[in-house]
Amino acid sequence: MNIDFDRSALLEQVLAIIRDENTSPRDFRANLRQLGTYLAYESAKKLDCIDINIKTPVSDAVVKQIADDIVVLSLLRAAMPMADAVLDQFKDASLGVISASRADMISDDGTAFQIKGGYTKIPDLNDKVVYVVDPMLATGSSMKYLLELVKEQSPRKIILLVAISSRFGINEIENQFPEIDIYSAAIDEVLNNKGYIVPGLGDAGDRVCNTIN
């Protein structure tokens, strides 16, 4: 389920910076971190909480605390700054990483790719709330590969945090995994015949790691 939320002027400013081809790798990473913080905040509105009793310097007080056991999964390599920001918000969360990259295109229109898996290190996900973090949701091929691995461990809930998605990618995930909540800061309508989001922001992994040729 795609979650709609109000995009503030601050979020629009961050999106403008990460889309700009002239943004330096340092500023690109910093603004992806900001975006991760914003999306974590928005998604946390739907987490389960419990009341706990504390003492202030003045009196007793009842406050709310997140009850869910959270795991953050980072799709290497582009998601590292965003995932780090999400971990800053959920300080007791566990962290897992999955490496997945595009291989051969299997459709002429650029909407489907074979996926080459790599290094994977995932903690126990059974009955956990799993945050899957990736800056880009384009064709959905890599994300579907990852989500199949995640669902094998029977998490209680899966939340996907994305900087920029294509409409095609959103539809692909919603059709195959309708139970998943998707928080995307922006949704672009066009996916070109190479499987890139238009206007998008280019290759997020290259821009994070400064490996653009």
pLDDT digits (tens, 9 = 90+) for 92-104: 999 999 877 665 6
CA angle 113, 118, 124 (to 5 degrees): 110
Residue 96: which residues within 8 A CB-CB, separation 6 or more?
71, 72, 73, 74, 121, 122, 123, 125
Mean pLDDT of 184-193: 91
In a domain, 185, yes or no: yes
In a domain, 3, yes or no: no
In a domain, 1, yes or no: no
- Give the whole-angstrom CA distance, residue 189 versus residue 191: 7
In a domain, 49, yes or no: yes
Residue 2 per-residue DSSP state: B
pLDDT exceeds 80 at position 112:
no
In a domain, 101, yes or no: yes
pLDDT at 78: 87
pLDDT-based confidence at 111, cuts 50/70/90?
low
pLDDT-based confidence at 195, cuts 50/70/90?
confident
In a domain, 4, yes or no: no
In a domain, 137, yes or no: yes
Which one-letter amino acid corresponds to residue 180? I
pLDDT at 108: 67
Compute CA distances 154 → 95, 117, 183, 201, whole Å.
17, 21, 21, 33
In a domain, 104, yes or no: yes
DSSP strand pairing (181-188 vs 113-121)? unpaired
pLDDT exceeds 80 at position 6:
no
DSSP strand pairing (129-137 vs 197-198)? unpaired
Torsional sign, CA 192, 197, 201, 204: negative
Mean pLDDT of 149-172: 94
pLDDT exceeds 70 at position 106:
no
Report the first-to-last Cα separation within the chain, whole angstroms.
37
Q: How many domains does the chain have?
A: 1
Could you give phi then psi for residue 78, rounded to 5 degrees?
A: -65, -25
Residue 176: which residues within 8 A CB-CB, separation 6 or more?
144, 147
Range of the domain at 18: 9-209
For residue 20, the domain's CATH number is 3.40.50.2020
